[in-house]
Amino acid sequence: MCLCYAVVIALYLGASGALTSQPLISDNGESQSKAAEHLKSIRMAEMTWPDIKSAVEQGYTTVVVAVGSTEQHGPHLPTMTDTRIGDELAHRVALKLGHILQATTITVGCSRHHFGFPGTLSLRDETLSMILLDYIDSLIRSGFKKIVFIPMHGGNFPTVRATLKEAQTIHPGIEIIGVTDIAKLFECLTSASAEFGIPANESGSHAGECETSLMMALEKNLVIKERFAPGYVGLTGEKELKTISEQGMQAVTKNGVLGDPGKASADKGEIYLDRLTEFLIREIKKQSQ
């Protein structure tokens, strides 16, 4: 999705209802459901400290954190797009894998290349790195033994990858992992788009069909269909990426879109969500000790 894909905040989701109604799936289902029956939410932001303490003692020693962005997403999608998608995916991954709590999503990322459009907030790379290190330090103090990061915004990937490597050296006794291979993520999405008969340039890397479908599935009231319009639909190769990084997105796309939202639908969005959840779970299992 978004080269700019992002993730996050518990607030948007009204989670408790969703949590009690969704089955918890786990490799060791019985102990999972026993431990989980006392948890109204796995979102730490919605829990009290005694409940977090008790969950960790009952085996919830893994925590997942999405890393999102707040940036323009064309004239038809809200600036929280990457954060919302990332938060949802982190939540689904945590529920499916079981024995995982979710820490508050990081809602602002590295988005300088979107500054040509109002509403974009950006951290410097070093700021994001410090936030990640402080998250890790805090989560270790809460008793977690394994910390999983899910970046959803392209601009965050290099910093997340480098910082997690550094953090693993600082905390050798803790397992710190992240799904930071953006090429594989794109591959997962474009293969789903191809099944719908939508070429990669329309599916897009920012606010195109794919990301718009995801938001129609998650936040249909925030998607403005009347404004759907193609953005840049040429190839996004090295030349275009260089232009974007040196001159900003507006040098390549006037409306802020890379792709074409025209064929987006909530049904496709649900399928993208399923594929992404499966992809993330595969990658996390591969990296897990």
Footprint of Zn ion (CB under 5 A):
2, 4-5, 81-82
Whose Cβ is closer to Zn ion: residue 4's or residue 55's?
A: 4
Kindly state the smallest distance separating residue 198's Cβ from Zn ion, in Å.
Answer: 17
Which residue(s) pair with 151 in the sheet?
67
130: number of Cβ within 10 Å: 13
Going by their DSSP bridges, the two strands 62-67 and 175-178 should be labelled as unpaired
Among residues 144 and 279, whose Cβ is nearest to Zn ion? 279
Q: With 0-12 CB in 10 A as exposed, 13-18 as middle and 19+ as buried, what is 118?
A: exposed
Question: Cα separation of 107 and 105, whole Å?
Answer: 6
- Rank residues 68 and 98 by Cβ distance to Zn ion and give the closer one: 68
Both structure tokens of 257: 């879109």
Would you say 42 and 100 are in contact if contact means Cβ atoms under 8 Å apart?
Answer: yes
Least distance to Zn ion, CB of residue 249, Å: 11
Q: Which two tokens stand for residue 141?
A: 């103090």
DSSP structure string for 129-181: HHHHHHHHHHHHHTT-SEEEEEE-SGGGHHHHHHHHHHHHHH-TTSEEEE---
Task: Tell me the C-alpha distance between 232 and 234, whole Å.
Answer: 6
| Closest approach of Zn ion to the CB of residue 206, in Å | 6
CB atoms near residue 21 (< 10 Å): 7
Q: Say if CB 145 and CB 62 are below 8 A apart.
A: yes
Give the shortest CB-2-to-Zn ion separation in angstroms.
3
Residue placing its CB nearer to Zn ion in the complex, 35 or 258:
258
| Residue least distant from Zn ion (Cβ) | 2
Min dist. Cβ of residue 117 to Zn ion (A): 13
Nearer to Zn ion by C-beta: 100 or 189? 189
* Token digits of residue 159: 């910093």
98 vs 155 by CB, closer to Zn ion = 155
Q: Which is nearer to Zn ion, 257 or 284 (CB)?
A: 257
Q: Which is nearer to Zn ion, 84 or 146 (CB)?
A: 84
CB of 73 to Zn ion, least distance (A): 6
Cβ 97 to Zn ion shortest distance, Å: 24
Contact between 6 and 153 under an 8 Å Cβ cutoff? The reply is yes
**How many Å apart are CA 168 and CA 284, to the nearest integer?**
16
Compute the distance between CA of residue 151 and CA of residue 7 in angstroms, rounded to an integer: 7
Handedness of CA 113, 115, 118, 120 (dihedral sign): positive
CB of residue 144 vs Zn ion: minimum separation in angstroms?
28
